[in-house]
Structure 1
């Protein structure tokens, strides 16, 4: 057992993190005040997303922050980037319509310096395989380790950013940190006006939006929250393993996928959905549903979104069928993933915006969130540019989520070299079954 694994098993006490007093980092200069509009695509995804970025001793000993410390450098540059991203210095509130808004008070973002009583290597090199209780101690902080390395831990509400916008913010923060100028122009300034995604009046709902539909035959104890505690595991699908899954999709004797070769996402999402459905024991005739996000930036056309749009531009799409229909054919599973993605165009996304508006009006402004009963929600981070988090110490040596926001979520992360790492949580018995199904397709 490695020291990192021992740390993960022992929990947060091994890290010995001592936190300083939380402080508020306000924008370096005066910014706009007042109420800031959040679109309907922001409203229905208000969960906290926690991420960590590891910078080892070799990186921390060079570049910005050598003399005064990484924490102070990042604190100062955060105040400068908040001038460009001033809503982050405000406070979430509920508006007159019952929807979330931001009160741009300029109070600032919470910032904590911390010191760990161990070395960075004790946490482990693969953050996706480290216990969330350990990584959770590193969130909201800049934590310095005995070896001289440090971890930057961030917690952001998803209603402020989707993955693309979040990485644009982190990249902008890093760009400002590296710059010797006190107020450098950003290479990609954020487009903060979210009114471009206001609903139509009256709402025009042109498509069924099954992602919000409740599944009533939810008979697996996993989805009710009953049963054993959830274990989290990370699975590395190499390019060879992904090629094998694609071959299984294309070579399925039912031949439902078609002639066009599956993409990596179609094949892997279909496999993970099918294997997880079997592992958690959804009865054969019961419905299982898949949800995943589609980035609307290249798909909004009338009008297109402005470059650097800094809000949520993702729309959830869905597929559903009987459990035995899904698990009997990998070709069928991948075909449903493709069909769900292909239906998302400008008209569909604007219909989704209007659907959320109509649903909120019917419930006094409360956002209608997609149902997660008997559902797998896949979030794909595999194409996000985490290496852009270069604050002057080079790109992070490791990065990833500190925790999954919901038990129904599976996360796809880039594993380098064309591979994909899949992180998900299941009860022990279901995890053992899922591991067996993964072993059948893993190729060294």
Structure 2
């Protein structure tokens, strides 16, 4: 495990923002969102950054021009993205398919890709330059649903940055859209996976609440001690976990927990170590929340091409005292237990009858697994991206304090998981120290096991 930083700075020269509208006339209609889309906790802007190296075969092509033209063509199929969100009765959101367009910015930067170092990683430098926040564009209602900026680099490569109104799509839906954009940019007349709206499939159907599950992720945690995280004093950093690190954590577990997934063991580690680093009152409740892609849980399945949110959120909850003082396995058991609580139809019912309902926010920590969403496969004609990830921690479901698991290969060729995280400035060193302590304990157990092997072999 290693902490990593990115001190690089550079200057970006932007052209005036423009609105890209569908290349052909599209239907003018109102499209209601699903009850899963229409969660108060998803009314936010999510960001992604994709970095591409130059390709000699494309030296006469301007990536901004290629993507701009492809975007107009793709919006004929994804025309709701060219509309604006409106609020209907009881706060229900819908898309006014007005064809007003998505924001697009072409830019240049006085930097070479190699200046970013041997391995690109979050927190990405100068994010405010890579994705310029056009004044007045970042609202939820009556604002563009997408903002794209393409920055050409001095070396012939480019950076593609996108901001998405999360109400419209989750990460899987966004990747579907970007994959289609890449296909059209490479010459296709239409995306190979045609978009499907049908948001009514994830709406409560008969007007009667059927929720039978406990939804701790939406529970109200009382702030008895003023222990809300100070979001104005956050430090962005990231950690890299190799397969060796994950194995070290597994060695700390009893046999009956060895079947845990990488997500579960790493989440338990981060939850516990972060809580220790924050030093909250021992009686404070510390929730951790994460989304589950529920597509494979639905029967019948959603149609191929559905690009809305299909996320069910779950939460594990513990007091600080138990989380910090009990063995590491305690945190893992709590994380593993909530897997059985996932039921997206139950979430849909809950949203329908208790709107607006926000995620538990006080002292909560969000985690999201993006290791397999496919963002690193998006090809606009310059090949696959060198970097395709969120730019930093802190953005998304639990605002200010959400982290992500991202696929990563370091400059030694080691594959693993990088996790950007935002922490109060005084707790960063304690957080890293606690993780190092856990990993060291796991590695000591391995050394002891190896040391005992010769003696055991003589028996």
What TM-score range do you get, normalising by the shorter chain? 0.7 to 0.9
User: Partners in 1 of 2:339 and 2:257 — Cα distance?
Assistant: 17
**TM-score, L = length of structure 2:** 0.84
What is the aligned partner in structure 1 of residue 453 from structure 2? none
Q: Which residue of 1 aligns with 2:281?
A: 283
The Cα shift of 1:378 comes to 0.5
- Does residue 50 (structure 1) correspond to residue 47 (structure 2)? The answer is yes
Q: Is the 8 A contact 1:89 1:105 kept in 2?
A: yes
Name the structure 2 match of 1:373: 362
Q: Which one of 1, 22, 29 corresponds to residue 27 of structure 1?
A: 22
The aligned counterpart of 1:247 is 251
Which residue number in structure 2 is paired with residue 204 of structure 1? 210
Q: 1:190 aligned to 2:223?
A: no
The 5 Å alignment of 1:396-407 reads 396-403=385-392, 404-405=394-395, 406-407=399-400
The equivalent position to 1:420 in structure 2, one of 401, 407, 417, is 417
CA distance 1:408–1:157, shift in 2 (3 Å): same
The question of 1:323 aligning with 2:320 is answered yes
Kindly state the Cα deviation for residue 217 of structure 1 after the two structures are TM-superposed.
4.0
State how 1:247-266 maps to structure 2 within 5 Å: 247-250=251-254, 258-266=256-264
Aligned equivalent of 2:451: none
Q: Which SS does the other structure have where 2:295 is aligned?
A: coil
CA 1:79–1:309: 2 relative to 1, 3 Å: same
Aligned residue number for residue 111 of structure 1: 104
**Whole-Å separation in 2 of the counterparts to 1:206 and 1:120:** 52
1:154 corresponds to 2:167 = no
In the alignment of these two chains, the number of paired residues is 409
Q: Match of 2:171?
A: 163
Q: Which of 199, 215, 221 is residue 215 of structure 1 equivalent to? A: 221
Find 2:309's aligned residue among 312, 327, 341. 312
Question: In the alignment, what sits opposite 1:137?
Answer: 129
Deviations 1:155-175 (A, max 9, x none): 001111111111111111111
- 2: CA distance between counterparts of 1:5 and 1:413? 17
Give the Cα–Cα distance (whole angstroms) in 2 for the partners of residues 127 and 95 of structure 1.
43
User: Quick one: structure 1 residues 353 and 242, their matched pair in 2 at CA, closer, same or farther if it must change by over 3 Å?
Assistant: same
Q: Which runs of 5+ in 2 are unaligned?
A: 132-147, 444-459
Residues 123 and 130 in structure 1, CA contact (< 8 A), matched pair in contact too: no
Question: C-alpha distance in 2, partners of 1:47/1:128?
Answer: 23
Instruction: Name the SS of the counterpart of 2:348 in structure 1.
Output: helix
> Using the alignment, how far apart are the partners of 1:421 and 1:27 within structure 2?
37
Note if 1:79 corresponds to 2:72. yes
SS in 1 for 2:107: strand
8 A Cα contact 1:136 1:402, kept in partner? no
- Residue 183 of structure 2 is matched in structure 1 by 175
State whether residues 292 and 318 of structure 1, in contact with CA within 8 Å, keep that contact through their aligned partners in structure 2.
yes
C-alpha change, 1:56 and 1:110, in structure 2 (3 Å) is same
Unaligned runs of 5+ in 1: 8-13, 252-257, 361-366
Structure 1 residues 79, 431: CA separation in 2 closer, same or farther (over 3 Å shift)? same
Structure 2 residue 348 is matched with structure 1 residue 343: no
Cα deviation 1:35-64 (Å, max 9, x = unaligned): 11111211221210111111123x3x334x
Deviations 1:355-414 (A, max 9, x none): 111112xxxxxx311121111110111111122211111101112213431222011111
Q: CA contact under 8 A between 1:127 and 1:400: conserved in structure 2?
A: no
> Which residue matches 2:448?
none
TM-score under structure 1 length normalisation: 0.87
Would you say the 8 A contact 1:41–1:312 is kept in 2? Answer: yes
Residues 293 and 33 of structure 1: CA distance in aligned 2, closer, same or farther (over 3 Å) = same
| CA distance in 2: counterparts of 1:126 and 1:49, whole angstroms | 23
Kindly indicate whether the alpha-carbon contact (under 8 Å) linking 1:71 and 1:113 is maintained by their aligned counterparts in 2: yes
Deviation for aligned residue 1:187: 2.4
Is this contact kept in 1: 2:51–2:387, CA < 8 A? yes
Deviation at 1:244, TM superposition (A): 1.1
Distance 2:105 2:348 in 1: 37
1:357-396 alignment, distance < 5 Å: 357-360=352-355, 367-396=356-385
Query: How many angstroms apart in 2 are the aligned matches of 1:159 and 1:126?
Result: 32
Q: Deviations over 1:215-249 (max 9, x none)?
A: 1145474x2427x7211111000001011112213
